[in-house]
Amino acid sequence: ENGKLVLTSADGRGIKITGDIGVGSGILSTQKENYGRLSLVKNDGRDINVSGTGLSAIGMGAADMISQASVSLRESKGQISAANADAMGFNSYNGGGAKQILQASSISAFMSQAGSGFSAGSGFSAGSGKSYSTILSGSVQIVSSTASM
């Protein structure tokens, strides 16, 4: 549909795609497997508490990007903010929409990292004339340390 491949799992199992789609995809070698999002919803005022060890293995570690929001019925009417929409599972902000957060000193430093898909020899590196640094500057947020988040 519109140049996109849409895969859906009706029974809740994950989908794994193997192969190599090329360095120009912008997908890091560590990001070739994704089992989607887990949405935890409470319909009362109590908190949802997730605790234990090894939570980074399921994407819930201290350094992982987690979308969360507490939204009342009144707040859910009308226009919903991007952060709330992302927490609701619409992937509109942190999870996969407008911006991705990368840890690097600059866009050119990120592009030079091995495994970024934009390093020297990829054909998509800084200075290749394909303007990927310009494309990335509009879709990523560079932070020097995720500890400050």
Count of C-beta atoms within a 10 Å radius of residue 57: 9
Q: Which of 9-18, 48-57, 106-115 has the lowest mean pLDDT?
A: 9-18
- The mean per-residue pLDDT over the stretch 112-138 comes to 75
The stretch 123-138 carries a mean pLDDT of 74
Type of residue at 109: A
Single pTM value for the model: 0.38
Quick check: 36 pLDDT over 70?
no
Name the more confident of 147 and 75.
75
Tokens standing for residue 139: 């879709």
Question: What is the mean pLDDT of the segment spanning 98-107?
Answer: 70
Tell me the pLDDT tens digit for each residue of 53-79. 887 777 777 776 677 777 777 777 777
* Number of other residues whose CB lies within 10 A of the CB of residue 126: 19
pLDDT digits (tens, 9 = 90+) for 80-89: 777 777 777 6
Task: Count CB-CB contacts under 10 A for residue 81.
Answer: 13
